[in-house]
Amino acid sequence: MKFVLFKDVLEERSAPQYGIVGDGEKPDVTCLCCGGTVEYGDYEVIRIIPWTDAAAMFKPGKYVVCMDSYWVRDAQMIDVSDVEDINDINTFSDDQDERWKDMESSPFIAVVEAASEDDACRIAAAQYRYDHRCLYAQKI
């Protein structure tokens, strides 16, 4: 068996994927991202990766996972830049409406250990019941 970076030649503009190519005359490749099998002749090996390098690639790292601001609506923050003691403000008062400003937000979800950004998003999504497609992760 070999660890490879491969491309599915039947899909137009397919992204390179990692997989395991079996031994034999006409081996299939098992895709590591989805577990699917691509038949011999339907894939192109971009490069063979030594097993020693493969282990380091999948070593878990820590990721900060946040909600992509594209999926957040009505995020506002009160402007207290000219207030000396923020405890003096009643944020629910009608006279404070002009202080509320729209903001770009990236709400923090979690810090997780994962092998990749995508894995980190999937782990956080499962733990906190979000759709992983609305999240992004940054390695720390």
Task: Say if residue 102's pLDDT is above 90.
Answer: no
Task: Say if residue 140's pLDDT is above 80.
Answer: yes
- How does pLDDT run across 31-71, given as a tens digit for each residue? 887 778 889 999 999 999 888 777 776 678 899 999 988 88
Asked if residue 19 lies in contact with residue 8, where contact means CB atoms within 8 angstroms, the answer is no
Asked if residue 96 lies in contact with residue 89, where contact means CB atoms within 8 angstroms, the answer is yes
For range 20-39, the mean pLDDT: 86
**Domain residue ranges of the chain, discontinuous segments joined by +:** 2-57, 61-81+97-139
**pLDDT at 13 (0 to 100):** 80
In DSSP terms, 138 is beta-bridged to 64
